[in-house]
Amino acid sequence: MYKSFRIILFLRASDRMISPEPYLIHFSQIGESAIGFISVAEQKNIPFEIRRVYWTYFTPENVTRGRHAHRTTEQILIAVSGKIIVTTENRANEKKTFTLENANMGLYLPPLVWHTMKYTHYSTQVILASSEFDERDYIRDYDAFLNS
């Protein structure tokens, strides 16, 4: 018997289909524990053109970062060390929690997804973004996000 399911895709002005939901991306990993590992994020593995790369580090464990959504920016979050717990929420109040603790795994965040992040103190996070920084792209008010 066939099970029904639905896949929702958004179209952008560029006619590129993107997922409206966050999802994990696994990057290739080469090496072994005796010598270490290398993971590579090449453009063919990234669902958008990378326009900005930035990182966070030494975030105290009692600090929650994020607490915003982006109007158009897409991102991939990667915990290159430590552990980061990311909670996402779409405008239908559907929440998901992701634990990032492997350097060969990233979390894709589409536009219009509220997200918060909790870190172990020695975590380092690298973020790949589809746009350069623009404060107008941020939705920092939670009620405005729900009503946007």
The token pair that represents 8 in the structure block = 């929702």
Query: CATH number, domain at 29?
Result: 2.60.120.10
12 within domain boundaries: no
1 within domain boundaries: no
The token pair that represents 77 in the structure block = 């979050």
pLDDT tens profile 33-44? 888 887 777 677
**Stated length of the chain:** 148
Residue 15 has pLDDT above 60, yes or no: no
Q: Which residue's structure tokens are 């975030």?
A: 59
Q: What is the pLDDT of residue 18?
A: 67
pLDDT tens profile 44-65? 778 999 999 999 999 999 999 9
Q: Which residues are catalytic?
A: 68
Closest-CA residue to 36 (of 78, 80, 76): 80
For residue 69, what are the domain limits? 21-146
Give ∠ CA 111-124-93 in degrees, rounded to 5: 30
